[in-house]
């Protein structure tokens, strides 16, 4: 059991996350300042024996047949026991007491639900930040890709847009400024008329330690043994380019290479031989 609700200073115990103690709710009703009914008229026993309550319990039992987790009423004997009921019966009891008490119970439940939602959002944010940190380290994601992921994360948990509109990917000493232009390897090969296929070029860059071959789980027909491979720039290769999230799948990286370092990159790629590091 755990305390979840507090009404007029009285803690209402909870059982199995779905049932609430009517005996505690009765204490809260009796202690309410505006309540004029006699304590005896608010007893749980009196409420549970009412024809309207019995009819409601019967309907709820029909809805939850075979699901012991959400049976309407659970009675626990002993000093710390009591009558624990589902939320529908909590509302019914509060309505039976008075309109003012009914409204108080509804608002208390709403407040607790909102608070629980906030915790869920907090948990989602923490999980997202942890995952993003792992991906940034393992995949060498660029600042702009990390920023894009952060913007999606804050939207997912309902936070206001606090992230900047852009991020600087280039090193602070880059001669071509913070907006350092990039291009795909295919584009660099085509524009510079290099007679090497993209696949072969990647293999040569892999030998140099500039890129590496990674994989992820996939159900695609093109996957090999349930995994899909993709290229990613290594830590060593970050002087030549950056990893962006692939537009085809956010779980993959897409290498882009700085045009300002393309001459050196192409020279290394062309002169590389198998086994050269």
Q: CA 99, CA 171: separation in Å to the nearest integer? A: 66
Query: Residue 6's closest CA among 95, 97, 104, 120?
Result: 104
Strand order of the β-sheet with 2-7 is 2-7, 10-15, 19-21, 82-85, 73-76
In the predicted model, what is the mean pLDDT of the chain?
Answer: 80
**Structure confidence by residue, pLDDT tens digits, 112-146:** 766 655 555 666 677 777 777 776 777 677 777 77
Per the DSSP assignment, residues forming a β-bridge with 224 are: 227
Helices (H), 64-197: 87-97, 99-139, 143-156, 185-191
**Structure confidence by residue, pLDDT tens digits, 18-46:** 889 999 999 988 887 666 777 788 899 99
Which regions of the chain does DSSP assign to beta strands (E)?
A: 2-7, 10-15, 19-21, 73-76, 82-85, 182-183, 211-217, 227-233, 241-245, 253-258
Q: CA 33, CA 209: separation in Å to the nearest integer? A: 75
pLDDT at residue 2, rounded to an integer:
45
**Structure confidence by residue, pLDDT tens digits, 218-251:** 887 778 888 888 999 998 888 898 888 877 777 7
* Residue 233 CB neighbour total at 10 angstroms: 26
b/e per residue 1-18 (b: at least 16 CB within 10 A): eeeebebeebebbbbeee
CA atoms within 13 A on the CB side of 181: 6
Q: CA 140, CA 175: separation in Å to the nearest integer? A: 22
Is the pLDDT assigned to residue 168 strictly greater than 90? no
* pLDDT confidence tier of residue 274, bands split at 50, 70 and 90: very low
Q: CA 44, CA 86: separation in Å to the nearest integer? A: 14
**Structure confidence by residue, pLDDT tens digits, 51-102:** 999 999 998 888 755 554 468 999 988 877 899 999 999 999 999 999 988 9
**Structure confidence by residue, pLDDT tens digits, 170-192:** 655 555 555 678 889 999 999 99
* pLDDT confidence tier of residue 270, bands split at 50, 70 and 90: confident
């Amino acid at each position: 059991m755990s305390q979840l609700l507090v009404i007029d200073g009285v803690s209402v115990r909870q059982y199995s996350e779905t049932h609430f103690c009517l005996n505690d709710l009765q204490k809260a009703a009796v202690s309410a300042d505006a309540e004029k009914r006699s304590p005896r008229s608010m007893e749980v026993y009196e409420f549970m024996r009412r024809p309207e309550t019995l009819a409601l319990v019967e309907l709820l039992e029909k809805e939850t047949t075979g699901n012991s987790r959400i049976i309407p009423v659970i009675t626990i004997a002993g000093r710390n026991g009591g009558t624990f009921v589902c939320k529908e019966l909590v509302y019914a009891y509060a309505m039976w007491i008075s309109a003012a008490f009914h409204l108080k119970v509804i608002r208390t439940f709403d407040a607790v639900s909102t608070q629980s939602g906030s915790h869920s959002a907090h948990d989602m944010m923490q999980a997202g930040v942890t995952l993003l940190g792992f991906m940034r380290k393992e995949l060498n994601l660029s600042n702009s890709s990390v920023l894009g992921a952060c913007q999606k994360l804050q939207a997912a948990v309902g936070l206001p847009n606090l992230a900047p509109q852009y991020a600087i990917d280039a090193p602070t000493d880059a001669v071509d400024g913070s907006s350092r232009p990039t291009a795909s390897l295919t584009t660099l090969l085509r524009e510079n008329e290099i007679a090497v296929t993209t696949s072969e070029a990647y293999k040569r860059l892999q030998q140099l330690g500039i890129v590496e071959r990674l994989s992820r789980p996939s159900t695609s027909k093109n996957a090999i043994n349930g995994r899909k491979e993709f290229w990613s720039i290594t830590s060593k290769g970050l002087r030549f380019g950056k990893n962006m999230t692939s537009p085809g799948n956010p779980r993959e990286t897409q290498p882009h290479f700085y045009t300002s370092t393309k001459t050196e990159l192409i020279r290394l790629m062309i002169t590389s031989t198998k086994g050269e590091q």
